């Protein structure tokens, strides 16, 4: 610190210790797009700048805290110099900090700014306000400390939707995003206060009539749902963002923040997404958690992760792809590309081979555990169908050559009920159980499920095993039941047929698998897909890339016997689709 000639300025404001840190050579400024104060949920753009810095040399990290508490990382060090942020739960004083780092010299500078968010609630009672998202509104009300509140809302004669409960704080408003709304439709909303079991309902307030964006993909219902619907929202992730429809095909939400692919929906109205592109450098390959209005909650990039991997003695990653999610243990897991030039291994002479790394981070985006396919899989076992990467491909980013062998092409991760990791390798035709042990595992392969793997299968099907599969996942209610979407590329190339929705009963001790469900879905998906158990014990599958025209997707619900009970067709390729209870509850 002393070698940088750091100077400190501390100013106490309402419990904050404001700190500006600069060096003799470098300082950073932080400017909000609107002056303080502003009402709760007003989106503020925070712009950082380091004067006279050469282009591309400065990285920025943004953190936020309330009332002098602990900082929370929003975006880790990267090239972006601005952040869209707001406080959407309560009014109060918030401190936004930016740290700047010169990547060439190692110099650091930081500054912070206090911003006051004001209550929207006046003497007239609860109020509903528009937000930065055209189909999301903000409900604001007061409730007594020690109680909790939720909000119900519905269109005329429509089904009731409701937010999760939030804990009330005496003397402060409480605020909820209302999402899952059709455009040009009137809604009513009311709050419910739960004071130790005593329920109080607020007045009905009319709102709505929001406008949806143009150019969104559409869902055409081919088979309407049954009268009883357990998960009435269909969220589809295209390769250019996501759109949520109701089961009649009406748009009720969409992403608006430039995310490429939504990988998972999470409780409370949060989502994980990925930005990946062969045309972007490593610092622009991103995983991001965001909320219903599209605001970034947590973000890092592959270049920042590579700094940490280098310090750990690990290989660098090329970018993130296919999966990012919060694990049950609270950590964050993401799939990333990793490549090596291997000589006379997967072809004559030097060949660029693209594999996978599993990266696990803590809530502050520190790398805490990794798994590298090059260290744990047989690199002489090439991609089953010989897939390669070129200038235009569905591969993770790669940089060492103009073409590469797409060796593993991972596409899903899940923490299993016993604390290990389930990893789906599309081009090995395997689901692989990895020793994670809740973060203490050594990464060895526990078993491989699929053709030529470690399990025998009880089936008379001439080709029972999945191939080029997506979204393998264990049922949390039954740890012996495993779901998977069987794209079927290897099988279809050999004997023809369609993609399948499969559920296996696994005897892990004896390495025996048998079918609970093996449903022919009537279409063949070249790639992508998802598999989901619904609350009513039906199953949802995404046949996400059916080669009709430029590519379409079918979202298909089947019952326990494999009969189709709901089907919708999207006019776009959909990486994953999710059936949701509402936009706050994944299923």
Question: Please, which residues have CB within 8 angstroms of residue 227's CB and are 6 or more apart in sequence?
Answer: none
pLDDT of residue 169: 94
pLDDT of residue 4: 31
Contact 195, 146 (CB under 8 A): yes
Q: What angle do CA 472, 370, 70 make, to 5 degrees?
A: 105
The per-residue DSSP string of 536-582 comes to TS-EEEEEEEE-STT-EEEEEEE-TTS-EEEEEEESS-EEEEEEESB
pLDDT of residue 54: 87
pLDDT by residue for the chain (587 residues), tens only, comes to 333 333 323 333 334 444 455 555 799 999 999 999 999 999 999 999 999 888 889 999 999 999 879 999 999 999 999 999 999 999 999 999 999 999 999 999 999 999 999 999 988 899 999 999 999 999 999 999 999 999 999 998 888 999 999 999 999 999 999 999 999 999 999 999 999 999 999 999 999 888 888 999 999 999 998 777 889 999 999 988 999 999 999 999 999 999 999 999 999 999 999 999 888 899 999 999 999 999 999 999 999 999 999 999 999 999 999 999 999 989 999 999 999 999 999 999 999 999 999 999 999 999 999 999 999 999 999 999 999 997 767 899 999 999 999 999 999 999 999 999 999 999 999 999 999 999 999 999 999 999 999 999 999 999 999 999 999 999 988 999 999 999 999 999 999 999 999 999 999 999 999 999 999 999 999 999 999 999 999 999 999 999 999 999 999 999 999 999 999 999 999 999 999 999 999 98
Rounded to the nearest angstrom, the gap between the alpha carbon of residue 518 and the centroid of all alpha carbons in its chain is 28
d(CA 171, CA 509): 57
Rounded to the nearest angstrom, the gap between the alpha carbon of residue 513 and the centroid of all alpha carbons in its chain is 30
What are the start and end residues of each CATH 2.120.10.80 domain in the chain?
219-580
Q: Which of 221, 67, 268, 55 is nearest to 566 (CA)?
A: 221
Classify domain 219-580 at the CATH class level. mainly beta
d(CA 73, CA 96): 10
d(CA 300, CA 62): 11
Question: Please, which residues have CB within 8 angstroms of residue 3's CB and are 6 or more apart in sequence?
Answer: none
Rounded to the nearest angstrom, the gap between the alpha carbon of residue 222 and the centroid of all alpha carbons in its chain is 28
What are the start and end residues of each CATH 2.60.40.10 domain in the chain?
2-118, 127-208
Q: Does domain 127-208 have CATH number 3.40.630.30?
A: no
Taking CB atoms within 8 Å and a gap of at least 24, the contacts of 400-405 are: 400/339, 400/340, 400/341, 400/352, 401/341, 401/352, 403/352, 404/339, 404/351, 404/352, 404/353, 404/354, 405/346, 405/347, 405/351, 405/352, 405/353, 405/354
Q: For residue 428, which phi and psi values (nearest 5 degrees)?
A: -100, -5
Task: Assign a CATH topology to domain 2-118.
Answer: Immunoglobulin-like (2.60.40)
d(CA 109, CA 45): 20
d(CA 177, CA 387): 44
pLDDT of residue 158: 86
pLDDT of residue 12: 37
The model's pTM is: 0.94
pLDDT of residue 21: 52
d(CA 293, CA 473): 29
Provide the strand spans (E) within 143-232. Answer: 148-155, 161-162, 166-167, 173-178, 186-195, 198-201, 205-208, 219-223
Reduced to 3 states, what is the DSSP secondary structure of residue 473? strand
d(CA 254, CA 136): 10
d(CA 323, CA 210): 32
pLDDT of residue 45: 98
């Amino acid at each position: 610190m002393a070698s940088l000639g750091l100077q400190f300025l501390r100013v106490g404001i309402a419990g904050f210790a404001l700190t500006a840190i600069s060096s003799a050579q470098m300082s950073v400024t932080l400017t909000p797009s609107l002056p303080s104060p502003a009402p709760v949920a007003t989106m503020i753009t925070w712009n950082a700048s380091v004067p006279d810095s050469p282009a591309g040399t400065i990285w920025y990290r943004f953190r936020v805290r309330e009332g002098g508490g602990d900082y929370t990382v929003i975006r880790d060090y990267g090239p972006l110099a601005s952040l869209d942020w707001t406080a959407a739960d309560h009014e109060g004083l918030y401190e936004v900090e930016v740290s700047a780092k010169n990547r060439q010299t190692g110099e650091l500078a930081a500054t912070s700014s206090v911003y006051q968010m004001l209550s929207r609630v006046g003497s007239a009672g609860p109020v509903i306000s528009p937000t930065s998202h055209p189909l999301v509104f903000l409900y604001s009300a007061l409730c007594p400390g020690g109680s909790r509140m939720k909000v119900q809302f519905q269109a005329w004669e429509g089904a009731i939707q409701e937010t999760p409960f939030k804990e009330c704080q005496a003397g402060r408003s409480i605020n909820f995003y209302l999402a899952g709304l059709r455009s040009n439709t009137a809604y009513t909303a009311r709050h419910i206060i739960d004071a130790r079991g005593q329920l109080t309902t607020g007045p009905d307030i009319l709102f709505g009539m929001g406008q949806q964006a143009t150019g969104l993909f559409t869902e055409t219902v081919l088979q309407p749902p049954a009268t009883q619907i357990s998960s009435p929202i269909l969220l589809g992730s295209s390769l250019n963002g996501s759109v949520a429809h109701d089961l009649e095909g009406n748009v009720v939400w969409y992403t608006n923040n430039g995310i490429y692919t939504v990988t998972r929906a999470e409780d409370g109205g949060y989502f994980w997404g990925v930005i990946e592109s062969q045309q972007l450098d490593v610092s622009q390959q991103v995983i991001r958690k965001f909320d219903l209005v599209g605001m970034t909650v947590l973000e890092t990039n592959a270049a920042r992760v590579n700094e940490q991997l280098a310090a750990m003695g690990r290989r660098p990653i090329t970018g993130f792809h296919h999966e990012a999610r919060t694990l049950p243990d609270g950590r964050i897991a993401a799939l990333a590309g990793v490549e090596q030039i291997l000589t006379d291994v997967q072809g004559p002479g030097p060949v660029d081979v693209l594999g996978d790394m599993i990266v696990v981070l803590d809530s502050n985006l520190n790398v805490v555990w990794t798994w590298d396919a090059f260290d744990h899989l047989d690199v002489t076992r090439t991609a089953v169908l010989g897939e390669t990467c070129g200038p235009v491909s569905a591969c993770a980013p790669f940089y060492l050559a103009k073409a590469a062998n797409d060796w593993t092409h991972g596409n899903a991760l899940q923490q299993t009920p016993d604390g290990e990791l389930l990893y789906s390798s599309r081009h090995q035709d395997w689901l692989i159980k990895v020793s994670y042990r809740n973060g203490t595992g050594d990464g060895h392969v526990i078993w491989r499920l699929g053709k030529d793997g470690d399990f025998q299968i009880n089936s008379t099907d001439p080709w029972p095993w999945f191939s080029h599969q997506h979204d393998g996942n264990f049922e949390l209610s039954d740890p012996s039941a495993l779901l998977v979407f069987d794209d079927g590329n290897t099988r279809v190339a050999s004997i023809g047929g369609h993609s399948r929705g499969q559920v296996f009963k696994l005897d892990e001790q004896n390495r025996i698998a048998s079918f609970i469900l093996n449903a022919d879905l009537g279409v063949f998906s070249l790639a992508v897909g998802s598999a989901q158990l619904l609350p009513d014990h039906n199953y949802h599958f995404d046949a996400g890339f059916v080669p009709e025209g430029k590519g379409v997707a079918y979202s298909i619900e089947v019952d326990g016997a494999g009969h189709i009970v709901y089907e919708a067709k999207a006019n776009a390729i959909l990486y994953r689709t999710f059936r949701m209870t509402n936009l706050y509850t994944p299923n």
